[in-house]
Chains A and B, each alone.
Chain A
């Protein structure tokens, strides 16, 4: 098998929004040997089933549907003659940057890459992961699976719906199911705040009179063949059900929108270091993982709220992958940077992407993205270069459902040559 192994400068795992944007920017940066491997029957990833609008306001300054947003990138891929394989599942990645994949036309094959861009996206947290008790009947779906049935197959998973979790897909599906003729009885959220974007609460629930019950969860699932109902209960500050608050709600369908998990099983197999908070790889300013020449972007790196940010981040990964190839050919020995600056997330900031910044290699401006752990009103984002406060930005509202960002200038960092840490925190 080794003799016939095809090789590419960049192999991108996943042809969703992240993989596509990474491919386009790598190509535009001058890399001509790119292969995208996509498991589905078309490029575009989950955007293909997101038929609602609201995509692209930042990237294209217009409001697009998911498929329209994807099409812009897919057209670019075709214009630029970037190679891709569809219906192709990557089953193994190794440290030597060999990719084993298979599909029906070529069977099992291995590719040799000089760099790999991880863009596998994420999966939905399942009922099982919540350890949600009750029976295990038909009619319990993750919101994304229901979205696939309705938007791709034209089939309705049910007509009387309860939604657990207020993640964006759940909110979007509350509206979609309503528009398709179902009744959405309630959206229950265990936290005292929604996990989705504010605009989705307004446009998908409020506009349709769908109640959102915060600090509520499901404590029992009824129905042996098909789901018949759920028992809802209020939870206390420790998220434990409060006795006496149970309420039975009949339904024929339960949708779950209870979180997304980056799909890093392949990354794990090749020895990539994973950040426990994000479940995504630990990356530096180039979005490069602990394995030199392996980059990560999009929802496999950390779960995003808007696809526009995915595209922006993936472009950076693509550019840096191309740069890495350039450096390889120029025989640059630029692998190990002695002391990159470590970013520390604390006091309400859950994580940062990237985790490390090397000022000598960074762009003029580095975007650092993060999420907060609770709802903060009239607070500040404080940034410290070691102990020195360099930024204090007022934010009216910050919530876990929305990503936050700060920009760090290369010029600033060069003024602090001995800098070890950049700390980002939320302050009153």
Chain B
């Protein structure tokens, strides 16, 4: 009885507290409790993949993200590889979802109109005594169900990749390996989810999550954010490197995610075909090591390094890591054209000590679903994780499928990749498609306007860049940034001076002449 009383006290206390909290919210922000069936925390590739899968069902869904745009965390800075799946340990979630995700990617790329190329991959070794490790990878891959794996010898490797290192001895060839643009993939998923009714709440940072147990709300979660209070029966934790903090708000079984930094260099399209396949070296304990790969847009990418960092916003590059990237990449290929480097960047992987993903309903938090520790091959797994998470949700919250689900999405037309006839057709529809803004990547005013005005449109220079590639070329936005800013200001009806690089305090202009 006493316990019961105590529980009731907590119960009442919770309600009072929440009532007060929400009342206060209402007063402060003029808001109210925003109620959803499912709330997804994190608008990276995983959050967006889940959102898209769940948008097939009749449920009210919101995606919350603290950033100014989708795809702002781990999803924006990685290798862009769709791994074949030979590497992840047989029997792990990583292995299962990787192979599944890889198989889904092609169909998805057609449905959602983003570029994907199955270029194949090679894991190479430099010594005879490393052959056994390649064989282990082969066996592991076969156990994982990876199709078409085979060992190849030096001669065949040289034929496939004329620039491969002279030291190469043998390789594991995985024809199902592929490349994708992580921005295109994430944005495509998000836009399609959005078209199917999912609401995206950006610049919305989760501060606390409280579970209510009152009769009225039936086990729902109250999520307090800087933009008001949200309530939902199902919460999906897709918060990347912050997924531990989100998890720990509701569970007694605390987890810890380490941000593992990876640095990269990107090379000019002039040398984009320096290799055709994704070239891996033998994996180490810290990951798959430094790769050399073409990107789906035709650049050459080298990286990443792996170093654990304390600060989860510490996505800076360092001289020593960039030197390491170059040194290791130079081992894989001959005469790496490093003079063609056009930029470098770094990303943070969400690493869990157990070395596998957690994709499950949290034991002591019913309705709270963790998608946690999604490091490599997370991008490859994203479509499969989306599907699996949706299955878990439907198990808890049965919902009927929508009849009017829109499975297809059309990407922003890319003048650079269209045929002359198609280009002429676009220009006929809208002459702005003949006004080239970014000369390096041949991105037109029409494409930038489209990027701004479509669902979840770009509001910043980086937003335009990730959707259209304006500013991603060899001059790194030297010529086009003033013009892109002008278009953003014009189309969004804001002052040029208020345009930012990536939201927040990232102002590009600090005043008028003589005024600063």
When chains A and B are docked, how far (Å) is the Cα of A184 from the Cα of B227? 40
Known contacts A103-B435, A128-B343; A158/B315 CB under 8 A: no
**Inter-chain contact A108/B504, CB cutoff 8 Å:** no
Nearest B residue to A240 via CB reads B319
> Which of A103, A128, A134, A241 is within 8 Å of B434, CB to CB?
A103
- Report the Cα distance A105→B341, complex, angstroms: 36
**Which of A138-146, A318-326, A400-408, A417-425 lies at the binding interface?**
A138-146
Residue of A whose beta carbon sits closest to that of B319:
A133
Whether A181 is near chain B, meaning CB under 8 Å from some CB there, is yes
Interface stretch of the complex, out of B182-190, B216-224, B473-481? B473-481
Q: Assess the A131–B322 pair: CB atoms within 8 A.
A: yes
> Is A180's CB under 8 angstroms from B513's CB?
yes
Proximity bits, B457-490, A CB within 8 Å = 1, else 0 = 0000000000000000011111101100000000
Give complex CA distance A141, B500 in Å.
14
| A252 engages B270 (CB within 8 Å) | no
Taking residues whose C-beta sits less than 8 angstroms from the other chain, chain B's interface range is 35 or more
Q: Are A1 and B427 in contact (CB under 8 A)?
A: no
**B275 at the A interface (CB under 8 A):** no
Closest CB-CB distance, A294 to chain B, in whole Å?
Answer: 20
Contact of B435 among A104, A135, A182 (CB under 8 A): A104
Residues of A within 8 A of B436 (CB): 39, 89, 91, 102
Bound complex: CA of A220 vs CA of B318, how far in Å? 7
Per-residue interface assignment for chain A, residues 137 to 166, with 1 indicating a CB less than 8 Å from any chain B CB and 0 otherwise:
111011011001110111111110000000
Contacting B482 at CB < 8 Å: which of A103, A145, A220, A226? Answer: A145
Given contacts A89-B436, A104-B431, contact A181 B478 (CB under 8 A): no
| Cα–Cα distance between A139 and B500 once the two chains are bound (Å) | 10
CB-nearest residue of chain A to B315: A135
Stretch at the interface among A3-11, A61-69, A119-127, A205-213: A119-127
Contact A102 B434 (CB under 8 A): yes
Q: Once the chains bind, are B341 and A128 in contact (CB under 8 Å)?
A: yes
Distance (whole angstroms) from the CB of B319 to the closest CB of chain A:
5
Instruction: Please tell me if B317 contacts chain A, counting CB pairs below 8 Å.
Output: yes
**Chain A proximity mask over B485-516: 1 for CB below 8 Å, otherwise 0:** 00000000000110011101111111111111
Report whether A129 and B482 are in contact in the complex, using a CB–CB cutoff of 8 Å. Answer: no
Known A-B contacts A131-B341, A138-B500; A124 and B475 likewise in contact (beta carbons under 8 Å): yes
Choose one: A104, A139, A149; the contact of B432 (CB below 8 Å).
A104
User: Is A156 a contact partner of B512 (Cβ separation < 8 A)?
Assistant: yes
- Residues of chain A within 8 A (CB-CB) of B507 are 138-139, 225-226
- CA distance in complex: A145, B316 (Å): 24
CB atoms of B424 and A107 under 8 A apart: yes
Q: Which residues of B contact A145 (CB under 8 A)?
A: 477-479, 481-482
Q: Flag if A181 contacts B474 (CB, 8 Å).
A: no
Most interface-central of B497, B504, B506 (chain A CB within 10 A): B506
Alpha-carbon separation in the docked complex, A182 to B435 (Å): 34
Question: Across the interface, which residues of B come within 8 angstroms of A129, CB to CB?
Answer: 341-343, 474, 476
A108 and B434 contact, Cβ closer than 8 Å, known pairs A100-B420, A133-B318, A155-B497: yes
Question: Does B156 sit within 8 A of A, measured CB to CB?
Answer: no
Q: Is A158 a contact of B510 with CB atoms below 8 Å?
A: yes
A126-B475, A156-B515, A156-B516 in contact; A219/B319 too (CB < 8 A)?
Answer: yes
A157 with B508: in contact, given A126-B476, A138-B501 (CB under 8 Å)?
yes
Contact pick for A226, options B431, B434, B506, CB 8 Å: B506
Q: Output the least CB separation between A12 and chain B (Å).
A: 17
- Roughly how many angstroms separate A241 CA and B318 CA in the complex, as a whole number? 13
Judging by beta carbons under 8 Å apart, are B316 and A134 in contact?
yes
With an 8 A cutoff between CB atoms, is B150 at the interface? no
Residue of A123, A159, A225 near B516 (CB, 8 A) is A159
Instruction: Give the chain A neighbours of B511 by CB distance below 8 A.
Output: 155-156, 159
Contact A131 B265 (CB under 8 A): yes
B431 neighbours in A (Cβ, 8 Å): 104-105, 107
Q: B342 contacts which of A105, A126, A157, A158 (Cβ < 8 Å)?
A: A126
**8 Å CB contact of B510 from A131, A154, A252, A268:** A252
What is the distance, in angstroms, from A114's C-beta to the closest C-beta of chain B? 23
Question: Is residue B442 within 8 Å, beta carbon to beta carbon, of the partner chain?
Answer: yes
A335 in the interface (beta carbon within 8 A): no
| Across-interface contacts of A126 in B (CB, < 8 A) | 342-343, 474-476, 478
The answer, yes or no, to whether B428 is at the interface (CB within 8 Å) is yes
Contact A225 B504 (CB under 8 A): yes
Question: Which one, B505, B506, B509, contacts A157 given CB within 8 A?
Answer: B509
In the complex, A224 has a CB within 8 A of chain B: yes
Nearest Cβ on chain B to A300's Cβ, whole angstroms = 13
- A1 / chain B contacts, CB cutoff of 8 Å: 420
**Quick check: B427 and A137 within 8 Å, CB to CB?**
no
Q: How far is the CA of A265 from the CA of B317 in the complex (A)?
A: 29
Which of A134, A154, A157, A253 lies in contact with B317, CB distance below 8 A?
A134
Task: Tell me the B423-443 residues at the A interface (CB within 8 Å).
Answer: 423-424, 427-428, 431-432, 434-436, 439-440, 442
Q: For B513, what are the chain A residues with a Cβ–Cβ distance below 8 Å? A: 150, 154-156, 180-181
| With A107-B427, A152-B482 already in contact, 18 other A-B pairs whose C-beta atoms are closer than 8 Å | A39-B439, A87-B435, A91-B436, A91-B442, A105-B431, A107-B424, A126-B342, A127-B476, A133-B319, A133-B344, A134-B317, A135-B316, A138-B506, A141-B478, A145-B478, A149-B482, A225-B502, A225-B504
13 contacts between A and B (CB under 8 A): A1-B420, A108-B423, A108-B434, A123-B479, A128-B343, A131-B322, A135-B315, A138-B508, A149-B509, A150-B513, A159-B511, A159-B516, A180-B514
Residues of chain A whose beta carbon lies under 8 Å from any beta carbon of chain B? 1, 39, 87, 89, 91, 100, 102-108, 123-124, 126-129, 131, 133-139, 141-142, 144-145, 148-150, 152-159, 180-182, 219-221, 224-226, 241, 252-253, 265, 268
Smallest CB-CB A-B distances: 5 pairs: A128-B343, A126-B476, A138-B501, A89-B436, A225-B505
Residues on B close to A: CB < 8 A? Answer: 265-266, 270, 313, 315-319, 321-322, 341-345, 420, 423-424, 427-428, 431-432, 434-436, 439-440, 442, 474-479, 481-482, 496-497, 500-502, 504-516
